[in-house]
Amino acid sequence: MPVPPSSAHPPLLRDQHSGFLTFLVARVFAVGATQIQAVVVAWQVYDLTRNPMALAFVGLAQFIPMLVLLLPAGELIDRLPRKKILAASWAIGGVCSALLLWLSGHGHAGVAGIYAVLVLYGATRAFSGPALQSLLPQLVPQALLPKAIATNSVVMRCAAIGAPMLGGFLYAAGGAEWTYGTCLLAFAVGTVLLLRVQVLYATPRAKDRVDAPADSIWQRFGTGIRFIFGRPMVLGTISLDLFAVLLGGVVALLPIYAHEVLHTGPEGLGLLRSAMAMGEVCAGLYLSNRPFGTHVGKRMMLAVAIFGIANLVFSLSHWLWLSCIALAVAGAADMVSVYVRGALLQFATPDGMRGRVNAVNMLFIGSSNELGEFRAGSSAALLGAVPAAVAGGLCTLAVVGMWTRLFPSLWNVNRFEDAQHQSAGR
């Protein structure tokens, strides 16, 4: 059945969609806390060790619990209220900020203690990521979903612009205690606001689920895995981000570049992280007002290629201003990829399977980010930061070339609705 035009519905942020507006405000606080904490942890770990491998373990400490908890996270998100799961995840994120604050304030902020807290934080992200993606379709009608995804991404990136800079300046001015205290407060406010969000569309009842309720947890999870691998377009969409960012991401190297290449302090590190978010916001604002609906597969592939080229420019830059511009371009390209990928997955996935499919997607995203940080840090320890960043950009371009041949259905998909039709036709 074709999706009705969005003009048949009231504006996205008005009337019955007030739950979506509250959700956006709550996300601002939660994303702000996450971004500030990421800047402070990265700078603190590198400042304590001056070892690129220490940054590699920052990503690994968060990835391992995400991997272990993937299966129960997807299962619970399909069976329990998604809003409550997300609120619990954010609340535990605040606990992590409190623990980091305690470690810093009592002079025990060694890397071992930080890694232990990051393991707990990675466990919360195993639930918060897929819960976020699965909750959004419950807040707005399907016809407004692509616009909601773009608007949600813009708000997240807006928070990601100011938060890293704020984190850098807070750390430079008041130390780790001020920054972790700010994160704790932001997580608390975000959790309280989220609990006030109005959910319009309930979690699917057991009888509406794709699998039989008597199936074991492994069988139900296997249903989600088979769904993904049985649809080349869905598999190509998820795996493209995995390999492009896993092999080409440079975020983990930013503390090294700030220290050793660009010769700046924590404020400069915050600026570098904010530059990428600024590019994402500019692209997201454009997509929110003029979302494209044709040639979506080709646009996503082109965006990932631009992401790789921009990271190459960053890797060779020795000027802060040029590095910021390159990261902004990479961020804009990444936003286009996120927009297309998110919309394709939402249209292609039945609601009763969104928790499991989004859990697998979150694992892929977590692999590309957290495991990508381990790859970047270990490569920098072996080759040096600049050669590792250059090799990563080249690998991203190679991935795009391979995926155009391995997944022609993704390259040729024209409209988002085609994903829904393909899913229904299987």
- CA distances (Å), origin 20, targets 197, 338, 426: 7, 19, 32
Local confidence band at 381 (pLDDT 50, 70, 90 cut-offs): confident
Place of tokens 């503390």: 255
pLDDT recorded at residue 329 = 94
pLDDT recorded at residue 349 = 74
Encoding tokens for residue 346?
Answer: 């939402």
Contact (Cβ atoms closer than 8 angstroms) between residue 165 and residue 61: no
Identify the DSSP state of 293.
Answer: -
Taking alpha carbons only, the member of 316, 110, 349, 126 closest to residue 227 is 349
In single-letter form, the type of residue at position 137 comes to P
Determine if the pTM surpasses 0.85.
Answer: no
H or E segment at 377? helix 372-383
Place of tokens 């009705």: 4
Contact (Cβ atoms closer than 8 angstroms) between residue 294 and residue 313: no
Residue 123 above 50 pLDDT?
yes
Instruction: Kindly list the structural domains of the chain, giving each domain's residue range(s) and its CATH number in brackets, ordered by start.
Output: 12-195+217-425 (1.20.1250.20)
What CA–CA distance (Å, rounded) separates 278 from 324?
A: 10
Q: Which of 96-100, 291-295, 416-420 has the highest mean pLDDT?
A: 96-100
What CA–CA distance (Å, rounded) separates 131 from 201?
A: 14
- Per residue in 217-269, pLDDT (tens digit) is 566 667 767 777 777 777 888 788 778 877 887 888 888 888 888 888 888 88
- Per residue in 41-91, pLDDT (tens digit) is 988 888 888 888 888 888 888 888 877 887 777 777 777 788 889 999 999
CA quadruple 229, 235, 236, 240: dihedral sign: negative
What CA–CA distance (Å, rounded) separates 243 from 252?
A: 16
Identify the DSSP state of 33.
Answer: H
Encoding tokens for residue 63?
Answer: 């990835």
Identify the DSSP state of 199.
Answer: P
Query: For residue 117, what are the contacts with CB-CB under 8 A and spacing of at least 6?
Result: 96, 99, 100, 103
The SS3 call for residue 77 is: helix
Query: For residue 221, what are the contacts with CB-CB under 8 A and spacing of at least 6?
Result: 71, 74, 75, 356
Contact (Cβ atoms closer than 8 angstroms) between residue 245 and residue 374: no
Query: For residue 145, what are the contacts with CB-CB under 8 A and spacing of at least 6?
Result: 136, 137, 343, 346, 347
Local confidence band at 203 (pLDDT 50, 70, 90 cut-offs): low
What CA–CA distance (Å, rounded) separates 60 from 374?
A: 6
What CA–CA distance (Å, rounded) separates 200 from 203?
A: 10
In single-letter form, the type of residue at position 422 comes to Q
Flag the least confident range among 164-173, 179-188, 354-363. Answer: 354-363
pLDDT recorded at residue 322 = 93
Place of tokens 């007002």: 289
What CA–CA distance (Å, rounded) separates 31 from 288?
A: 19
Mean pLDDT, the chain, rounded, equals 79
The tally of CA atoms less than 13 A away on the side-chain side of residue 83 is 22
Local confidence band at 1 (pLDDT 50, 70, 90 cut-offs): very low
Residue 208 above 50 pLDDT?
no
pLDDT recorded at residue 326 = 93
